[in-house]
Structure 1
Amino acid sequence: MTSNSTATDETRTETNWRIDDDADPIEIRDPVAEALGVLEPDEPFVITYTDAVKEAGHSCPTASGAFRIAQLGLDALYPDGDPVRSEIEVQAAGPRDDATYGVMSRIISYVTGATGDDGFGGLAGGYGGRRDLLRFDAFDPDTPDPTFRFRRTDTDETVEVTYHVGDVPDGGPAIGNLQGILDGTASDQQREAFADAWHRRVQVVLDDDSLFTVETV
């Protein structure tokens, strides 16, 4: 039996990134991964911002904001150890079909494991289950800015994280080159200028804690 496709020395083993966004990773334990021998007991998954970019398919202030919302929320909820999937409920202030909450919730779900009614139900007896731990329109926020709550199901402790998107820099005139990129009329210089301005905005979100408010509920 023959195949029309063959492996070559050029087969990729990693993503050829054009971006180099700098952000501390998120460490989170997964009891099911430990039980099934994917991880050693008490060893966490390490989730980077580029992992979140793979989930989203792009890097932008919304994606980086979602990563930081998850990171800051989990840091506040677990000050003395790693967060644990299946013990984290995520509550979104907005609806699932909202353009901002929808994208952000996908990344936050990817990090925390919290899902709706289509999620993993757990091993025998529900061990490590993450189903029904992601809720939308769960509370009324005090601001129109994207706001999420994270609740520990083992202690009922809850923190609220708000992302002040209006304070993110606009990126300057080079951001206007996007339309030319989309319709194919942008020059190489315009493409480079846009990419530099765009990813500088992303890095600001990853670096600047003042863009977020974290409160105990």
Structure 2
Amino acid sequence: MHLPAFYSHAPRLLVRDPLAELLGAADDGLIEYGYPDAVRLAGHSCPTVAGAYLMARAGLRALYPDAVPERGGVVVTMGAAEVEGTTGVIAQVFTLLTGAAANNGFHGLAGQHARHNLLRYGGGDRSCIASFRRADNGDTVYLSMDLSSIPPAPQMRELMVRALADDASSEERAAFGSIWQDRVRRLLLEHADDPAVIRVERRD
């Protein structure tokens, strides 16, 4: 699988998963994720997938400032319904990185390490994309993103129309893919820690 080279330069995220440690899946439960993992999960790369990856990274780092984030220790509440817009896509990336799953998630072992019902939809707070809450101490952050400072290239729409046409050439499709991924590249490499783009908020 040949992925764009810049994917490997995107920020990575180290988490500790007690279930993975218990079951011998990872030494000390330590798992490192990179943007290619989110791409493989989603089956594509776009600003939404990249933004979800960066929001999850930022949220977990904010909740665990002095420790490795605990995968499976966070309750994720999406602001919108599962079927609304890109909510489902974003939630899938959140599940990958946080371990929080909806009702179809792992039910645990002897009452421990359950992951089901840690991901919830339609929390009613439309001012954010999602909230992350630590299950152990209730610390909560609210996540959103603003991509207005990373606009698509002016020729994006025209290239998309041509690329989707039945008679599009391989060159036209490649040109669209290249310019599409350049916006993803800018988001991942230039704005990963930009608080104006990837927003993490605490509230009283």
- The structural deviation recorded for 1:182 is 2.4
Amino acid of the structure 2 residue aligned with 1:23: A
The 10-residue stretch of structure 1 (153-162 or 179-188) with the greater mean CA deviation from structure 2: 179-188
Pick from 122, 133, 139 the counterpart of residue 157 of structure 1. 139
- The structural deviation recorded for 1:129 is 1.1
Matched, 1:84 2:64: no
TM-score by length of 1: 0.84
Task: Identify if the C-alpha distance between structure 1 residues 158 and 61 changes in structure 2 by more than 3 Å, giving closer, same or farther.
Answer: same
Cα contact 1:169–1:201 (8 A) shared by 2: yes
Cα contact 2:76–2:119 (8 A) shared by 1: yes
Q: Report sequence identity in percent.
A: 35
TM-score by length of 2: 0.89
Q: Within 5 Å, give how 1:1-217 maps onto structure 2.
A: 15-18=1-4, 20-21=6-7, 22-41=9-28, 43-124=29-110, 126-142=111-127, 147-206=129-188, 207-208=190-191, 209=194, 210-217=196-203
2:173 & 2:14 partners in 1: Cα distance?
35
- The structural deviation recorded for 1:18 is 4.2
Cα contact 2:132–2:142 (8 A) shared by 1: yes
Cα contact 2:6–2:185 (8 A) shared by 1: no
Consecutive aligned runs of 4 or more in structure 1 exceeding 4 Å deviation: none
Q: CA RMSD in A?
A: 1.7
Cα contact 2:142–2:201 (8 A) shared by 1: yes
Task: Identify if the C-alpha distance between structure 1 residues 184 and 17 changes in structure 2 by more than 3 Å, giving closer, same or farther.
Answer: farther
Cα contact 1:85–1:130 (8 A) shared by 2: no
1:59 & 1:175 partners in 2: Cα distance?
17
1:184 & 1:95 partners in 2: Cα distance?
34
Cα contact 2:81–2:87 (8 A) shared by 1: yes
Task: Identify if the C-alpha distance between structure 1 residues 188 and 117 changes in structure 2 by more than 3 Å, giving closer, same or farther.
Answer: closer
Give the secondary-structure state (helix, strand or coil) at the position aligned to 1:160. strand
Give the secondary-structure state (helix, strand or coil) at the position aligned to 2:86. helix
- The structural deviation recorded for 1:161 is 1.2
Cα contact 1:175–1:194 (8 A) shared by 2: no
2:44 & 2:153 partners in 1: Cα distance?
17
| Number of equivalenced pairs | 198
